[in-house]
Structure 1
Amino acid sequence: MKVLNEPGVLWRSERFFSTPSAMARSLFFYVTRCGHYYYDKNYDFRDNCEISKLGSHKNFFLIYVRSGTVHFETDSTYSVEQGQIGLVDCRRPHRFYAAGNAEAMWLHFDGSNARAFFDQILAFRGGRQVMTPSGECHAEQEFAQIISGLRDETITEIECSQRVYRLLCGLLFPQYASLDKTAEHPVAQAREYIAAHLFEELPVERVAAAVNLSPSHFSRLFRSSTGFSPHEYIVLHRIDEAKALLHSTALSVKEIAYRVGYRSEVNFIASFTDKAGVSPATFRKNPL
């Protein structure tokens, strides 16, 4: 529907509403309102207006700026420029405004683990709420498909959830979307090195040296590319290998512990139980 009487929003702008089903609220990501706006310098949305008090607004907000600049004031002040995405928790104090002409697509969304995504995205980015999506993220297309789908009533709740999920994953793992997965890439090399030396001690410094990177640079690259710290990845890889050995061999728990890089059976049992939720002996009897 056309937007009427919203200061600073030009007549070409459109806005659409969506009321999620009980199932969507429980299981999916869902959009409560979205739009394609054209702004002028008079646009100034503040969180003390009546719209901001509506349930369809008090959730999470994503905006993709197609041209110009949209400014934000939340816990900090920042600007979202052409080709960038802004992410805001509209339950917190906020203000959006334009100092000149701008165009953007936006959506309000929520979901059962939306908060966890929001917190993790900001944690990975040092609290920064402005991001430049990779080309592989197809952010503009995802926004456009959600908006047109709600306009034409052709998008299902499942498809809408999937598109929001892809957007969030693209923001959570920006390096992964554009990662060169060839064998020459440092992260690919590191994963191969870890697999080949899993039974040995693997401090981050050793793995970083194997791919000719400093430990700090390697850790940042590995985390942004995989979502795991190198240490967490190694631990989980060891647990997965231990599960396979418990299921397919008659090796003792102690032997398996040494085969997957632990030098103490006690430490292995504690680590396995923490990650798998059951002890190695219980897992062997009832593989999950």
Structure 2
Amino acid sequence: MRPIDIGCTEKSAVYFYTSGETAKQTFFYPLCVGHYFCTKEYLVQRNNYNSFLLIYAKKGEGYLKVDGKKYTFRKEDVVLIDCYKPHIYGTVKDSELLWIHFDGSTSREYAEMIFGNSGPVCSVRDLITFEKDLNRLLLMISTGSAVNDALCSYYIVKILTDLVLCSSKTLKEENPRSITEDIISYINDHIREQLTLEDLSGRAGLSPFYFTRLFKKETGYTPHEYIILSRVNIAKFYLKSTAYSIKEICFSSGFSSESGFCTTFRRVCGMTPSEYRENNNIS
């Protein structure tokens, strides 16, 4: 349908979609999508419209005002807006915008990750694929028939994941996160061996202090905490899946003593290994 927004030309189109309750509880879901051809008069000012808005500027230039700050965007930029809070955006010249209002159970977590890395205006590596995915969403909603909620969610997640990757330092050569990923891979491969902070930080080429700080920033755990949780998770699997003794599972999981294993397991899980094995209500 043709929008009634000021500053939208006759070529513009907007489509609305009402997701079912199951889709809202399970997936990322669209509220409305649009393909706008705007003049410099295009302006949207809202206190809120409970959703997140993704805008791809195929052509033109514009601006966003949110949280007391002003951001500008240009051709081929992507803008992500938290529409739960007051915001203003518009264009300053003839522009072509593809956009989607969406929401979902972890939408805010994705948005905060992107905002934290690059702010609300970012770019993507593969514009062709990005635009194709966005157009597929527009096409599904615009046809109005046989909208596949799971497929809509897939494309929204794919688009957001691309923005997370492109806004993150993960793409930079020898970036901190790639170091963390290498160490995690090493830990997983050597989980049954003795793993010390000195060995891991040396492998990363960092001081123990900086390595610990970096590792916790990227994973939420110190290296020691991550190793302990990994070993406990291995033990939980074998406790539920095998008939091996507690002692055998202890050493197979990388713990050096049965007493230390039982103490750590109880601290992490709130019960002993034997109680965990016998409790049929816990997976």
Following the alignment from structure 1 to structure 2, what is the Cα–Cα distance between the partners of residues 137 and 177? 21
What are structure 1's unaligned runs of at least 5 residues?
Answer: none
Following the alignment from structure 1 to structure 2, what is the Cα–Cα distance between the partners of residues 196 and 99? 54
Q: How many residues align?
A: 268
1:272 equivalenced with 2:264 (yes/no): no
Q: How far is 1:256 from its partner?
A: 4.4
SS at match of 1:192: helix
Q: How far is 1:69 from its partner?
A: 2.5
1:68 equivalenced with 2:60 (yes/no): yes
Contact 1:136-1:177 within 8 A present in 2 as well: no
1:252 equivalenced with 2:244 (yes/no): no
Residue 188 and residue 111 in structure 1: after superposition, are their counterparts in 2 closer, same or farther (change >3 A)? closer
Q: Residue type of the partner of 1:113?
A: T
Contact 1:241-1:260 within 8 A present in 2 as well: no
Q: Deviations over 1:94-135 (max 9, x none)?
A: 000112222221111122333343344434x27x22222343
Contact 1:36-1:105 within 8 A present in 2 as well: yes
Residue 283 and residue 135 in structure 1: after superposition, are their counterparts in 2 closer, same or farther (change >3 A)? farther
Contact 2:266-2:273 within 8 A present in 1 as well: no
Following the alignment from structure 1 to structure 2, what is the Cα–Cα distance between the partners of residues 100 and 220? 43
Q: Deviations over 1:177-222 (max 9, x none)?
A: 9799xxxx7556423321244343443x743431446775897699
Picking from 98, 108, 123, the partner of 1:105 is: 98
1:170 equivalenced with 2:154 (yes/no): no
Picking from 231, 238, 247, the partner of 1:238 is: 231
Following the alignment from structure 1 to structure 2, what is the Cα–Cα distance between the partners of residues 164 and 78? 23
Following the alignment from structure 2 to structure 1, what is the Cα–Cα distance between the partners of residues 88 and 245? 63
Note the 1:48-59 alignment, pairs <5 A.
57-59=49-51
Q: How far is 1:22 from its partner?
A: 2.2
Following the alignment from structure 1 to structure 2, what is the Cα–Cα distance between the partners of residues 11 and 221? 53
Following the alignment from structure 2 to structure 1, what is the Cα–Cα distance between the partners of residues 20 and 217? 36
Following the alignment from structure 2 to structure 1, what is the Cα–Cα distance between the partners of residues 115 and 81? 10
Following the alignment from structure 1 to structure 2, what is the Cα–Cα distance between the partners of residues 283 and 240? 12
Contact 1:29-1:111 within 8 A present in 2 as well: yes
Following the alignment from structure 1 to structure 2, what is the Cα–Cα distance between the partners of residues 41 and 91? 25
Following the alignment from structure 2 to structure 1, what is the Cα–Cα distance between the partners of residues 8 and 211? 44
Note the 1:192-203 alignment, pairs <5 A.
192-198=185-191, 199-203=193-197
SS at match of 2:37: strand
Which residue pairs with 1:38 in the alignment?
Answer: 37
Q: Deviations over 1:240-260 (max 9, x none)?
A: 322244344313399449824
1:133 equivalenced with 2:114 (yes/no): no
1:13 equivalenced with 2:12 (yes/no): yes
TM (normalized to structure 2)? Answer: 0.75
TM (normalized to structure 1)? Answer: 0.74
Contact 2:29-2:149 within 8 A present in 1 as well: yes
SS at match of 1:259: coil
SS at match of 2:187: helix
% identical aligned pairs: 22
SS at match of 2:246: coil
Residue 196 and residue 158 in structure 1: after superposition, are their counterparts in 2 closer, same or farther (change >3 A)? closer
Q: Which moved more, 1:148-157 or 1:263-272?
A: 263-272
Following the alignment from structure 1 to structure 2, what is the Cα–Cα distance between the partners of residues 39 and 80? 14
Contact 1:258-1:264 within 8 A present in 2 as well: no
Following the alignment from structure 1 to structure 2, what is the Cα–Cα distance between the partners of residues 172 and 257? 37
What are structure 2's unaligned runs of at least 5 residues?
Answer: none
- CA root-mean-square deviation: 3.8
Residue 24 and residue 190 in structure 1: after superposition, are their counterparts in 2 closer, same or farther (change >3 A)? same
Following the alignment from structure 1 to structure 2, what is the Cα–Cα distance between the partners of residues 13 and 221? 48
